[in-house]
Amino acid sequence: MSRRTRWNGAALAVVMGGTLAAGCGAPGGDAPQPEATGASLAAAPTCGTAPVTLNAYIETGFPLPKELSTEFSKQYPNVKWNIREDQFAVITQNAPRVLADDPPDLMRLPQVSELVKNNLLKNLDGYAKAFGWDSWPASQLEQMRLAPGGKTRGEGSLYAMGLNFSMTGVFYNKKLADKIGMSSPPTTLAELDDAMAKAKSAGITPIAQFNGGATGGLAFPLQDLMASYGPSGPINDWIYQKPGATIDTPSNVQATQHLEKWIKAGYFWKDINAVDYATMMSRFIKGEGLFSFNGDWESGNLDKQMAGNVGFFLMPPVQQGGKQAAMSAPLTYGISSRAKNADCAAFFLNWVATDPKAREIGVKIGGSHPMGPADAPMPEVAEGTVTASTLDAGAKIAQDNGSMDFIANATGAIYAKSWTPQLQKLVAGQQTPEELLKSVQSDYTSQVGGS
């Protein structure tokens, strides 16, 4: 080997080594440092009068945030928007990196625990005090509160705000209901079972639901059944990662057994494990199922596509007149801990909840209940529409204190890695209700304890 080739070899090593050098040292040094607490503010902040551009990162496919931003700029012409849109799944995967590297002023958020743990979200306590958010019904903000360190949810400082809050329950096809002689929504679980049995023998698929891909839609009826059989409090404790919480309780086993009964009775489509959300919606709209467990984000859509032919009721309790519960979650938006225009973003969030025009957009476009004080004026909604009944349902849930977060939100991975495969196995007869809950609980324990 000549001297030159040896030199070349050395040069190669230097070039390669140089590019690889960045890999030295333990990964993860660039995370933001913790913020002491939400700074207290002398007065409620505003967007001022100087030109300001808010950077927003929102979920594509839902017109609400864009409509709100347009109206906001109309009222406050100095505020311009720079909006980036992605699908929710993409936002979920990108959230930590985007918040760390390219901090938006306002961002649609997935499950927030991990983001708070990494100090990526601004503590909103100061704004809550200045704007008076802490005098709103506590249940509205509960899901966005986190104890120090981001471990337990449901208590502690506020880290996000909702544009509105959604309500889940059961939609039903009125024409098909007439066919089986169901003149009013069922008031007990037994009545619901009865209606399903009648539908089945009339050749109508009782439940239009999805359970394919990475999103097991059977989690909707399952959690509704859990709340019928037992109290909603322990379910929330589990979702909020309170110490010692478990999903494997006797009443939840009963609920899962009930779901299995529905599966075995053939109340779902045979190909439910291959049906995704969009397919379910189009089949339900076409009249291929009597009931569908879903949320009021579809109210506006269903009022348009099945005008006059669709109704909504909350999951009935086991006992007549028992307390009712529903998954109800704010459409969460947060402010990056490194945001440039945090004050203006907070002012916008407050405006969404309190401005009459914004509340009207929230209901008409979003289909869900606006955030804000309990006595805030409600926008007019046409009688007999599904939107009207979902808003009424919201009042009933508030009265029963039955608002729950979704069991899929307990940890970042619990839905795709535990609930979905387990529920798909339950459908295929490869899993028992008892083992299903045990398995989910063991995944949960390792995720909560292990991270």
Partner 1 sequence: MTRPTPDSAVDSPATRPGPAAVTRKRSPARAGGLRTPSRVGWLFVAPALIVYAVFVLRPIVLTVQYSLYRWDGIGPSTWAGLGNYVKVFTDPDLFASILNAVKLIAFFSVIPVVLGLAIASTIRRIAASRLALVARTVLFLPQVIPLVAAGIAWSWLLSSTGLVNQLLGYVGLDGVARAWLGDFSTALPAVGVIGAWVLLGLCTILLLSGMSKIDPSLYEAARMDGANSLREFISITVPSLRQEIGVCVTVTVIAALASFDIVYVSTQGGPGNATMVPGLEIYYLAFSERQVGMASALAVVLMLLVILVALPIQWLTKDRS
**Binding to partner 1 by residue 93, rule CB under 8 A?**
yes
Q: Using CB under 8 A as the criterion, what x/- string covers residues 21-60 for binding partner 1?
A: -xx--xxxx-x-----------------------------
10 Å Cβ neighbour count for 119? 18
**Binding to partner 1 by residue 96, rule CB under 8 A?**
yes
**Binding to partner 1 by residue 97, rule CB under 8 A?**
yes
Give the residue from 204, 160, 148 showing the smallest Cα distance to 180: 204
Residues 392-411 that bind partner 1 (CB under 8 A): none
The whole-angstrom separation of Cα 436 and Cα 428 is 13
Interface stretch with partner 1, choices 2-10, 155-163, 217-225, 327-335 (CB under 8 A):
2-10
Residues 272-311 that bind partner 1 (CB under 8 A): 272-275
The two structure tokens encoding residue 352: 């969404």
Interface stretch with partner 1, choices 59-67, 133-141, 257-265, 420-428 (CB under 8 A):
420-428
Q: Please, which residues bridge with residue 71 across strands?
A: none
**Binding to partner 1 by residue 412, rule CB under 8 A?**
yes
Dihedral over alpha carbons 376, 379, 383, 388 (to 10 degrees): -70
Among 242, 340, 364, 425, binds partner 1 (CB under 8 A): 425
Q: Please, which residues bridge with residue 294 across strands?
A: 169
Cα atoms in the 13 Å half-sphere on the side-chain side of 243 = 1
Among 35, 134, 178, 271, binds partner 1 (CB under 8 A): 271
10 Å Cβ neighbour count for 445? 11
Interface stretch with partner 1, choices 10-18, 172-180, 318-326, 341-349 (CB under 8 A):
10-18
Residues 142-181 that bind partner 1 (CB under 8 A): none
The whole-angstrom separation of Cα 435 and Cα 437 is 5
- Strand ranges (DSSP E) for 247-298? 291-295
Q: Contact at 8 Å (CB) between 154 and 240?
A: yes
Q: Which is nearer to partner 1, 8 or 135 (CB)?
A: 8
Q: How far is the CB of 33 from partner 1 (least distance, A)?
A: 11
Number of H helices, E strands in the chain: 19, 13
Q: How far is the CB of 445 from partner 1 (least distance, A)?
A: 15
The DSSP output letter for 32 is: P
Tokens 């959300």 identify what position?
Answer: 277
**Binding to partner 1 by residue 117, rule CB under 8 A?**
yes
Q: How many residues sit close enough to partner 1 to count as binding (CB under 8 A)?
A: 49
Taking the chain, what is the end-to-end CA distance rounded to the nearest angstrom? Answer: 53
Q: Contact at 8 Å (CB) between 259 and 138?
A: no
Among 86, 114, 191, 400, binds partner 1 (CB under 8 A): 114
Q: Which is nearer to partner 1, 86 or 114 (CB)?
A: 114
Residues forming contacts to partner 1 in the complex (CB under 8 A) are: 4-5, 8, 11-12, 15-16, 19-20, 22-23, 26-29, 31, 92-93, 96-97, 100, 114, 117-118, 120, 212-214, 269-275, 412-413, 416-417, 420-422, 424-425, 427-428, 430, 447, 451
